Amino acid sequence: MAAALQLLPVRTGAAAENMAVDFLLLQRYPAPGAPRFRHYEWRGPAFTFGFGQRIEFVRAHLPSFAEASEGRPAGDVFDLCRRPTGGGIVDHRNDWTYTLVLPRGHPLYDERAPQSYRAVHECLAGALRALGQPAEVKQACEPCDAAASAGPGVCFQRAELYDVVNTATGAKIAGAAQKRNKRGLLFQGSVGQASVGPVDWEELAAGFTAALGRALGCEPQQTPWPEWNEDEVAGLTEQYASPEWIACR
């Protein structure tokens, strides 16, 4: 029997809780031999940003996403958290967010980062096309410019190699960030809902996980949450919500 691609229940959390849960699934509760997938939602308007990004850059770019309400600074309006993965600033107010965790020893864990990025996004693009969306994986880099070479910036402003893009307009539909360590691979992805036409998101989830199962050699299977220490979840959530974590670069 094929190994399972464990599909975890949908949870809704604040930004720090969502990031803490993703990290714990990688670091403390990997499933031996079995990839795990989860789609999750956000308790309120939220932004996350890459582990290596400087907080000054992030704060300077938050107002470019939306006007602050009632005269308050953008940082007081939006839930903000640094991710354990890399990448740029992501606006989660209107996206479909997911995480894939691969245990160490899985064939895709041993691939170089661009190849694992491409493999997951090929599955996502195929699922979008099956729903009538003009989606493909970006196969070539554009000539570098000063802004691009400066490092991760604002996600969805520009499509990078192996992002999912609209075949008609070239606009970015989906991006992701990764973290590899001795425990496994953490893949955090985002689909911009404004970047696609009308989509049944439950159908997309089913098509995407079916494609991932085929690519990973696993059978998608609904799976309950691991039996973990809720105090540990709460403790790491508190750490991820702390000013020290958010401003650590």
Q: Answer yes or no: is pLDDT of 234 > 80.
A: yes
- The pLDDT score that the predictor gives to residue 33 is 85
- Going by C-alpha positions, the residue among 185, 177, 138, 231 that lies closest to residue 26 is 185
Q: Answer yes or no: is pLDDT of 137 > 70.
A: yes
Q: Distance between CA atoms of 33 and 11, rounded to whole angstroms?
A: 24
Contact 172, 165 (CB under 8 A): yes
Contact 7, 223 (CB under 8 A): yes
Domains and CATH numbers, the chain: 3-58+78-140+151-246 (3.30.930.10)
- Going by C-alpha positions, the residue among 119, 143, 129 that lies closest to residue 203 is 129
Q: Tell me which H or E stretch contains 18.
A: helix 15-27
pTM: 0.89
Which residues are CB-neighbours of 72 under 8 A, at least 6 positions away? none
Q: Answer yes or no: is pLDDT of 68 > 50.
A: no
- The pLDDT score that the predictor gives to residue 219 is 95
Q: Tell me which H or E stretch contains 190.
A: strand 184-192
Q: Answer yes or no: is pLDDT of 18 > 80.
A: yes
First and final C-alpha spacing in the chain:
46
Q: Tell me which H or E stretch contains 237.
A: helix 230-241
Q: Answer yes or no: is pLDDT of 215 > 70.
A: yes
Average pLDDT of the residues in 18-28: 96
Share of the chain above pLDDT 70, in %: 86
Q: Distance between CA atoms of 187 and 217, rounded to whole angstroms?
A: 17
- The pLDDT score that the predictor gives to residue 65 is 46
Comparing 64 with 13, which gets the higher pLDDT? Answer: 13
